[in-house]
Amino acid sequence: MKLSAWNAAVLPAGIFILLLHLTVPSAGLWAGTAFALLGLILVGIPHGSLDHIITEKTGEAGSFSLVRFLVMYLLTMLVYALFWVWLPALSLLFFLLMSAWHFGETDLEESSVSQQLFARLAQLLYGSLLLFGLLANDPEQTVAILASLLGESAVLTRFLNLTDAQPWLRFTEFYALALRIALVRSRVFDQLRLGLVLSIALFLPLLEGFLLYFCHHHAWVNLLRVKERLYEEGPAGLKNMIRDMMPFSLISVFGIIILVASSPLWLSQVNPVLLFFILISVLTLPHAGIMSRFYLQEG
């Protein structure tokens, strides 16, 4: 990963927000939420807004249709959204597995494992450890959010009791990091930066910690890889990439704002933070499939 002004600014900003949380909690909450949402708008959502470009540039020449792409993309999102309504527990489990797979595929893309089956198992293990750790950093908030969807649940109670009885489980993201260091032996700066991101997230509320990793590591890494492979070098390539990201980024940002803001009118029983995660999951499903094909072709 190349060092850039934005890339370098994330860690000092994260440390500053952490210090605010520890010294002036109310100010830390406002600053942390603003930083998380800024990262989501500038990096997190835009990293999925290039899916049509990835599909067009990595597919067969002349076979791409934007209309067909959008119809299939939106249809996939709609079907998954309906599953959230009909089968919320199953949809939540699927989201966790999908996220674990997607995170693992991104972070272990340059691993030294050559056998594909073992590489896939390592990706799923890595992502599962990482995601469990991010959720277990703030188990009370995790349970409170999920309870608005699942109600009183023995699984949530066991999760809370387990993290209380076994505090070491709150550090599983660092076991994932150790696995990454063992399998990806280059990128020393990137390993250190990820370690610092996870260390800061360990002490932040759930949404802030999750978005710190999601936006400022996961999305950032994916954007750089797409830029390096599909766009020319230098300012011209960056300008073209931003131009391509803009339309669907704006649509997604305003769509999420409208749906979350209006949710008390039509989905009052669901925690707005949970609704936000559901919307991210609906966007992630088609995106994860496209990025998986991107990495397979890149390999």
Placement of tokens 């998986």 in the chain: 292
Average pLDDT, the chain: 87
Give the C-alpha separation, 276 to 283, whole Å: 11
In 3D space, the residue among 102, 97, 133 whose CA is nearest the CA of residue 206 turns out to be: 133
Does the pLDDT at position 162 exceed 90? no
- pLDDT at residue 298, rounded to an integer: 64
Task: Specify the higher pLDDT residue, 143 or 2.
Answer: 143
Q: Where are the alpha helices (DSSP H) in 24-171?
A: 25-39, 51-58, 66-86, 88-107, 116-136, 139-150, 154-165
Token pair for residue 8?
């370098």
More confident residue, 107 or 114: 107
Q: What is the pLDDT of residues 44-92, one digit of tens each?
A: 999 899 999 999 988 766 788 999 999 999 999 999 989 988 888 899 8
pLDDT for res 37: 87
CA–CA gap between residue 148 and residue 299 (Å, rounded): 41
Question: Rounded to whole angstroms, how far apart are CA atoms 268 and 242?
Answer: 36
* pLDDT at residue 61 in the model: 64
**pLDDT-above-90 percentage for the chain:** 43
Q: Is a pLDDT exceeding 70 seen at residue 166? A: yes
When pLDDT is cut at 50, 70 and 90, the band that residue 132 belongs to is: very high
Residue 3 has pLDDT above 50, yes or no: no
Q: Which tokens is 215 given?
A: 């936006």
Q: What is the pLDDT of residues 12-37, one digit of tens each?
A: 898 999 999 989 999 998 999 899 88
* Distance, CA of 249 to chain centre: 15
What whole-number distance in Å separates Cα of residue 189 and Cα of residue 182? 15
- The residue count of the chain comes to 299
pLDDT in tens, 248-278: 999 888 888 887 777 666 666 667 777 788 8
Q: What is the dihedral of CA 119, 120, 122, 128, to 10 degrees?
A: 160
Q: Distances in Å between the alpha carbon of 222 and those of 11, 49, 107?
A: 18, 12, 9
In this structure, are residues 249 and 53 in contact, taking their beta carbons and an 8 Å threshold? no
Q: Which pair of structure tokens corresponds to residue 146?
A: 């999920």
What per-residue confidence (pLDDT) applies to 268?
Answer: 64
Q: Is the model's pLDDT at 1 over the cut of 60?
A: no
3-state secondary structure of 25: helix
**Rounded to whole angstroms, how far apart are CA atoms 280 and 38?**
15
User: CA 250 to CA 260: how far, in whole Å?
Assistant: 15
pTM of the entire predicted model: 0.90
Per DSSP, the residues of 129-156 read HHHHHHHHTSHHHHHHHHHHHH-S-HHH
**What is the structure's pLDDT at 2?**
47
Nearest to 15 by CA among 140, 23, 207: 23
Nearest-angstrom CA–CA distance, 212 and 195: 12
